[in-house]
Amino acid sequence: MSPRKRSDEGGPDPHPRRGKPVAQVDLRQRTGRGTGPRDDRAHRRGSRIVPRGGTGTLATLALAAAAVLAGTLVEGTVVGTAQWSVLRGPLPRIRWRTWAVATGAGAFLAWLLGMIPSTVLSLGADSGGAGAAPAEPSNAVVLGLAFCMGLVLGPVLGFVQWLVLRRFVSHAALWMPANGVAWAFGMVVIFTGIDPAISGGFGFLSVAIVALTLACAGAVVGAIHGLALVWLLRSSK
């Protein structure tokens, strides 16, 4: 017989696939330890210590924090100043700093609560592995959720402003539901314009669409706020 067919005479194993893997034998020879169940358990313990997707989690949290900070600063300064410029005529005792701080504090609460659902969903998607992507909701569902978001978070923004406004006008509590209605329609305008803005990538056209969308949303929200303020001022006389 040929030496290759007789493994008991020192020749090669006729069934190499049944032998021990080379990497496992080499690992035992180098470390002096096996790769049995105890080593597998240690590996699993180590994988739990260093979670998967850590970088994605930090990026998601950083993005949410940046959105909350930007929303607080923009609404506290831009929106607060625009509203104060209207209020200072009939209500000259309201100081700009007081109204801007109240608007910024309300915006912080509203943005913080508004970013929690999307952040949690993003973190869940990052930790879900490479599974099938969930189906995206229809435009009607998205716009309906945007309307409900503004209806709920608008009064949160108006609550801190109400704390200031109640010192000068009667029936100031109506300012909170007025904010809910204003931001409900404003969020629908924003979500309507954001989708075509980001679908074509970043460029001059997307910037123009975003600017136009924000201008239209500001006009809608400002118009409803203006009607509410006119009614509040007339009822206080």
Q: What is the DSSP letter of 135?
A: P
Q: Which amino acid is at 231?
A: W
Q: At what angle do helices 175-199 and 204-236 cross, to 10 degrees?
A: 170
The CA-atom distances, in angstroms, between 188 and each of 13, 37, 45, 110, 145 are 73, 56, 47, 16, 9
Rounded distance between C-alpha atoms, residue 107 and residue 110, angstroms: 5
Q: At what angle do helices 139-165 and 96-127 cross, to 10 degrees?
A: 150
Q: How many CB atoms lie within 10 A of CB 31?
A: 10
- Stated pTM of the model: 0.64
The domain ranges of the chain are: 18-50, 54-124+137-236
pLDDT-based confidence at residue 96 (cuts at 50, 70, 90): very high
Residue 149 in tokens:
């978001």
HSE (side-chain half, CA atoms, 13 Å) at 132: 3
pLDDT-based confidence at residue 120 (cuts at 50, 70, 90): confident
pLDDT mean over 181-208: 82
140 pLDDT more than 60: yes
pLDDT-based confidence at residue 5 (cuts at 50, 70, 90): very low
Q: What is the pLDDT of residue 158?
A: 92
Q: Which amino acid is at 34?
A: G
Q: Among candidates 84, 27, 16, which has minimal Cα distance to 225?
A: 84
Residue 226 in tokens:
């203006």
Residue 188 burial by Cβ neighbours in a 10 Å radius (0-12, 13-18, 19+): buried
Of 31-45, 73-87, 132-146, 190-204, the least confident: 31-45
